[in-house]
Structure 1
Amino acid sequence: MYVLALTGGIGSGKSTASEYFASLGAVVLDLDDIAKRLLEPEMPMHAAVVEVLGPEILAADGRIDTAALAERAFVSPATAKMLNDAVHPAVYNVVAGALDALALQAEPPRFVVLDVPLLAESPEFADLADAVLALSSDEDARIDRLVARGMAEHDAERRMACQASDAERRDIADYVIENDGDLLDFRAALSQFFEEEVAPRVA
């Protein structure tokens, strides 16, 4: 079972890459999705995050309002780190358990992708993978993609300012794919990476 940790800043193309690898048979564990499930009111992490960011992030029904959470968390890198420190230990345990369960299946998957947006901020997740692939992209291109998705430009800039730099992600990566062209270029780069680096390991 070959495990690839996929990382990159917001708007760098992680979702596109995950979807591409899934189309080739990969099992994708999306850490953002796992974190969202752990934020449900009945989960211990819910209380921990409210304690860190304050009751202002709660909706009327007691659930965490993701827009309010983002508004509070991305005020500064320090605040974002406080949120990450509250969230990532629980997410790590879930991911480690999921990988153990996959490995114990009668026929384990040959290829697993961990979509880890904040790998540079939480490098312990790299210990769960055989290799790390970082996606690198020009900041203006990333902002354009995020605005096209409906995010306000100032929100995109603020979130990017609270994340690690591409240089920091490169430092922890075994492989880097540049995503500064169009979608066809990016998919071609992903295909080349898969054929050269992944396929020989999962054959």
Structure 2
Amino acid sequence: MARYTVALTGGIASGKSEVERRFRALGVHVADADIAAREVVAPGTPGLAEVVQAFGPEALGPDGAMDRAAMRRRVFADADARRRLEAIIHPRVRAALRAACEAAPGPYAIAAIPLYAEAGADAYAPWVDRVLVVDVPVELQLARLLKRDGIDEALAWKMIRAQATRERRLAVADDVIENDGPLEALDAEVARLHGRYLYLAEEAQGSRATFR
């Protein structure tokens, strides 16, 4: 059971997945909010039923699953719709992430939470011990998003501006990975932080044992 949890966050197209992959390769359990967000609105779940109640049957695709592309277009064009959808999904995701991290093997676990800064630290304070931010300049973020998703620039800017600013994310960071260079540079950064988190997890375990 993990005794220490690190929140991994960053803006869209910042390279969180690459950082996450490297931690996994080191044997660290990673609970991913994007995966949890799909699971909590999978067909047959109360989450999906609530989405349909809030947005109507047009929220569904032909297969009965949530039409993620259509909902993305809808919520990025309508801030109220985005807040309604987040109010359905986010509490369920937070609960799933906490349970996964608390049950994880190893000294520490990582919760990959793209919208950590948007939710506010208080939403995760009871169980997140440290925050790691993957940071890139906004111009590079935009270029990567356009290349990755094949969308137009107007939608890309809406997606970026719907998230917390770069400054706001950095304000909640305990650790920062600057991901504006080659991907190979991430290897050394992740290895360095892995060593730090192992030490902090051991230290936290000692402190908790002292106060039992």
Which one of the candidate residues 89, 107, 110 is aligned to 1:110?
107
CA–CA distance in structure 1, aligned partners of residues 79 and 138 of structure 2: 17
Q: Percent identity?
A: 34
CA distance in 2, matches of 1:187, 1:78: 40
Aligned to 2:74: 72
Deviation at 1:59, TM superposition (A): 1.1
Alpha-carbon distance in 1 for matches of 2:125, 2:116: 7
Shift of residue 25, structure 1, vs aligned partner: 0.9
Larger radius of gyration: 2
- Tell me the residue number matched to 1:105: none
Q: 2:168 & 2:54 partners in 1: Cα distance?
A: 26
1:165 is aligned to 2:165 = yes
**Equivalent residues of 1:12, 1:135 under 8 A apart:** yes
Paired position in structure 1 for 2:32: 30
Give me the TM-score of the superposition, normalised by structure 2. Answer: 0.83
User: How far apart, in 1, do the equivalents of 2:42 and 2:199 lie?
Assistant: 40
Q: 2:134 is aligned with what amino acid?
A: L
Could you tell me which residue of structure 1 aligns to residue 83 of structure 2? 81
Further displaced range: 43-52 or 74-83: 74-83
Distance in 1, matches of 2:43 and 2:96, equals: 17
Instruction: Tell me, in whole angstroms, the C-alpha distance in 1 between the residues paired with 2:43 and 2:89.
Output: 14
Contact 1:133 1:175 in 2 (8 A): yes
Query: 2:191: which partner in 1?
Result: 191
Number of residue pairs the alignment of both structures matches: 197
Structure 2 counterpart SS, 1:120: helix
- The one-letter amino acid paired with 1:85 is A
The AA in structure 1 aligned to 2:37 is A
Q: Is the partner of 1:128 in helix, strand or coil? A: coil
User: In angstroms, what is the RMSD of aligned CA positions?
Assistant: 2.0
> What whole-Å deviation, never above 9, does each CA across 1:12-52 have from its counterpart, x for those lacking one?
11100100111111001001101101111211110222333
* More off after superposition, 151-160 vs 185-194: 185-194
Unaligned 5+ residue runs, structure 2? 203-212
In the alignment, the residues of structure 1 paired with residue 15 and residue 84 of structure 2 have an alpha-carbon distance, to the nearest angstrom, of 25
Unaligned runs of 5+ in 1: 103-107
SS of alignment partner, residue 43 of structure 2 = coil
- Counterparts of 1:7 and 1:163, CA distance in 2: 12
Q: How does 1:1-203 map to 2 (within 5 A)?
A: 1-102=3-104, 108-123=105-120, 124-154=123-153, 155-195=155-195, 197-202=196-201
TM normalised by structure 1 equals 0.87
